[in-house]
Structure 1
Amino acid sequence: MNAIDTRIADTATVDRITWIRIASTFLPLANPISDAKVLTGRQKPMTEIAILFVEIETTDGHRGLGFSYSKRAGGPGQFAHAKEIAPTLIGEDPSDIAKLWNKLAWAGASVGRSGMAVQAIGAFDVALWDLKAKRANLSLAKLLGSQRDSVRCYNTSGGFLHTPLDQLPTNTDASREKGIGGIKLKVGQPDCALDIHRVETVRKHLGDAFPLMVDANQQWDRPTAQRMCRTFEQFNLVWIEEPLDCYDAEGHAALAAQFDTPIATGEMLTSVAEHWEFIKLRGADYLMPDAPRVGGITPFLKIAGLAEHAGLMLGPHFAMELHVHLAACYPTEPWVEHFEWLEPLFNERLETHGGRMIVPTRPGLGLTLSERVAGWTAQEVEIGNRA
């Protein structure tokens, strides 16, 4: 080691994780939410979202905020798993994010590397990336290497199946007035004629060119999906989402090969390996990974790299507060899903103009927790000691 290297080694310091806070928060929804899974009897209407928050602090006083979530069930399980594995991070260098992801995964390896286990890991991973970007005084998008300062966005929350048909035009107009650039409708009802009528009504209201998507939430079998995809060709849709069971890669691939309307899926997959199966089989034109569900930003970036190599388009699912940063880094123009449901959790708001969502320039995710979060928090635990 030469003299310069010696001086650098003598002055370099390694930051260490000293304190972690984990909280299980239940965000109430203003109205019960129903999609096709409710109308087919598989699920009950959704009344709340379970949020897993993780805050991490280091020796040097740097802090990161991360979150994961679950719908209808799983919140207490995510919290319990996070509480078990969190102590493995104490004393570690927060910059070693890939190493720490693997360490957390192996700490809970007996319950697998997908599903609830990695969804718990996702909150830690997001917090570590948020911390790293804040320390660099960069937005997460800039830290990762952004391609653009805004991303196309579409609204889903106004098109759920509990929404009366005559309310849909009003909802679509409200979205367009907010500067949102696309509309997605839920389909997949037991009576396919009702789906067709809803799509036909909204398409006529929007005009032929305005971006319109539909989402069947896995409720069709293969013959029904064939018929509905053929029928929907006339409506010039951006995509048809989850026409089949989320693990039916071959079935999705057959639809993608047969029809001009792109096929979109991926939101229910919870690992890189599951996404890789769809990528290999060309089971999606639009891949829709969900960073909290796959275990955070670290595995999301692996999925995005594989999707880019395969020439697929990208449309991350839900959690726009996080995905706007990740979508901004994808080489080809992606879509981000606009859901205002999580807004009460944070003090900041995302901006939409001209059909696009503006990528925040604040350091990290650019998010701070609102005062209301404390009142919705059911469990919390602190591990380690604050600096």
Structure 2
Amino acid sequence: MDTIAKTVSRQQDASPDSIAWIRLSSIFLPLKTPISDAKVLTGRQKPLTEVAFLFAEIETTEGHSGIGFSYSKRAGGPGQYAHACEIANVLIGEDPNDIAKLWIKLSWAGASVGRSGLAVQAIAAFDIALWDLKAKRAGLPLAKLLGAHRDSVRCYNTSGGFLSSPIEEVLDNVEQSIGADIGGIKIKVGQPDMAIDAQRVAAVHERIGGRAAMMVDANQQWDRPAAMRFGRMMEPYMLTWIEEPLDAYDVEGHAMLAAQLDTPIATGEMLASALEHVALINNNAVDFIQPDAPRVGGITQFLKICAFAEAKKLQLAPHFAMEIHLHLAAAYELEPWVEHFDWLDPLFNEHLEIENGRMIVPTRPGLGITLSEQAHRWTRAQAEFGKRP
């Protein structure tokens, strides 16, 4: 058989798979207690009582499947779901291997609402599901499919250090986190009275006693002079980072802090596109970049951010959604951190393991998650597209 005939034969044998069916679910996760950070104490937002999730489940003509999700806090969840329903049909019949191509197709399907914010957050659920599908088809954990540098990632806890918790409760949570083998403790700061923040930091630092790393998070609370003043107050504590000291879009201000403070600056979680992160990176405005895959449009966009960050030798500490970010952090060149939140545990049948301050990358194919019965009970809306194979 000549070369041309062999090529044609291989093409015929490799009949391409195609997306046959999609199910979108709007799921609302209630929190046990209302959560407050600096934005609540200063009247910008109300306490957080629930998290809205957009789940996408995809199946192909050859029987492969994937699951992905996006989320929103306080507002936007119904909007994400509505936009996803508007654009889902463009994926039916497409080859699931062409993930980057399909991201562009989805973005053009909703081009009039832009390529950041809610629009790309809706795309994220599809994109993450396609990566999950691809890794499952290969029989690999997503981290291995991407090219893992490690089998576990340093993890730190945030959920025990909110400003809505009195200091006694925060200190108890410190002990619980260290007892659970978590490697770092992050607490919220940014109260109207900076002296109270300083007292809470001192108390937590003393309680940790060198047993874990420590970070603080101001949730965009300060102006530039206040952030500089607080940053200088924190120097003796040798914090791993100060997070979101300024408005998320104040690139120049973050660059000033990063240049003048010894304590590293971390930010990026609130940015809603890859290009917004590139602005931080190119302007030397951050030491720890904190992208959130569901917020920037999924894994395809997250990987673009990582390429820029690696070139600058920046540290990586993805925000929230540890079920996704554990895999992405494991595939980052420099030693990263991943944020531990147990809020999402009821949504999944599987749970992540922690040993010696590190979160273990699961060996299950793909993301290694399946929706629980409880998640189905919390579902408020659902839509299907195509025909299930």
- With the shorter chain as reference, the TM-score category is over 0.9
Shift, 1:7, TM fit: 2.4
Shift, 1:208, TM fit: 4.2
SS of the residue corresponding to residue 128 of structure 2 reads helix
Shift, 1:10, TM fit: 2.4
**1:11 aligned partner:** 13
Contact 2:121 2:294 in 1 (8 A): yes
Select which of 254, 257, 272 maps to 1:255: 257
| CA distance in 2 between partners of 1:190 and 1:247 (Å) | 21
Shift, 1:345, TM fit: 0.3
**1:88 aligned partner:** 90
Shift, 1:283, TM fit: 0.7
**1:139 aligned partner:** 141
1:331 aligns with 2:319: no
**1:217 aligned partner:** 219
- Output one character per residue of 1:221-240: Cα deviation in whole Å (capped at 9) or x when no partner: 11100100000111110000
| CA distance in 2 between partners of 1:210 and 1:327 (Å) | 20
Instruction: Give 2:292's aligned amino acid.
Output: D
| CA distance in 2 between partners of 1:359 and 1:346 (Å) | 16
Using the aligned pairs only, state the percent identity: 66
**1:318 aligned partner:** 320
Instruction: Give 2:45's aligned amino acid.
Output: Q
Shift, 1:2, TM fit: 3.0
| CA distance in 1 between partners of 2:324 and 2:345 (Å) | 12
1:240 aligns with 2:251: no
**1:294 aligned partner:** 296
| CA distance in 1 between partners of 2:222 and 2:256 (Å) | 14
TM-score (normalised: structure 1): 0.99
Contact 1:208 1:235 in 2 (8 A): no
SS of the residue corresponding to residue 372 of structure 1 reads helix
Shift, 1:167, TM fit: 1.4
| Structure 2 runs not aligned, ≥5 long | none
SS of the residue corresponding to residue 373 of structure 1 reads helix
**2:311 aligned partner:** 309
- Output one character per residue of 1:167-208: Cα deviation in whole Å (capped at 9) or x when no partner: 122101111111100000000000000000000001011114
1:198 aligns with 2:162: no
- Number of aligned residue pairs: 387
Select which of 362, 365, 370 maps to 1:363: 365
| CA distance in 1 between partners of 2:112 and 2:5 (Å) | 48
Instruction: Give 2:54's aligned amino acid.
Output: L
TM-score (normalised: structure 2): 0.99
Contact 1:208 1:236 in 2 (8 A): no
SS of the residue corresponding to residue 300 of structure 2 reads helix
Select which of 148, 151, 166 maps to 2:150: 148
Contact 2:141 2:367 in 1 (8 A): yes
**Of 163-172 and 79-88, the range deviating more from structure 2:** 163-172
Shift, 1:3, TM fit: 3.7
- Output one character per residue of 1:23-45: Cα deviation in whole Å (capped at 9) or x when no partner: 11100000000000000000000
| CA distance in 2 between partners of 1:20 and 1:208 (Å) | 49
Shift, 1:13, TM fit: 1.0
SS of the residue corresponding to residue 159 of structure 1 reads coil
Pairwise mapping of residues 67-146 of structure 1 onto structure 2 (< 5 A)?
67-146=69-148
Q: Deviation above 3 Å: which 4+ runs of structure 1?
A: none
Select which of 149, 172, 175 maps to 2:177: 175
| CA distance in 1 between partners of 2:279 and 2:197 (Å) | 30
**1:280 aligned partner:** 282
Pairwise mapping of residues 31-46 of structure 1 onto structure 2 (< 5 A)?
31-46=33-48
Distance 1:359 1:203, change over 3 A: same
| CA distance in 2 between partners of 1:215 and 1:331 (Å) | 25
SS of the residue corresponding to residue 383 of structure 1 reads strand
- Output one character per residue of 1:99-138: Cα deviation in whole Å (capped at 9) or x when no partner: 0000000100110000000000000000000000001110
| CA distance in 2 between partners of 1:10 and 1:286 (Å) | 48
| CA distance in 2 between partners of 1:275 and 1:327 (Å) | 16
| CA distance in 1 between partners of 2:210 and 2:64 (Å) | 50
| CA distance in 2 between partners of 1:229 and 1:171 (Å) | 24
Contact 2:178 2:212 in 1 (8 A): no
**2:4 aligned partner:** 2
Instruction: Give 1:254's aligned amino acid.
Output: M
| CA distance in 2 between partners of 1:209 and 1:379 (Å) | 45
Shift, 1:374, TM fit: 1.6
Select which of 43, 54, 76 maps to 2:56: 54
- Output one character per residue of 1:266-300: Cα deviation in whole Å (capped at 9) or x when no partner: 00001111001100111100000000000000000
Contact 1:156 1:184 in 2 (8 A): yes
SS of the residue corresponding to residue 328 of structure 2 reads helix
| Structure 1 runs not aligned, ≥5 long | none
Shift, 1:166, TM fit: 1.1
CA-atom RMSD in angstroms: 0.8
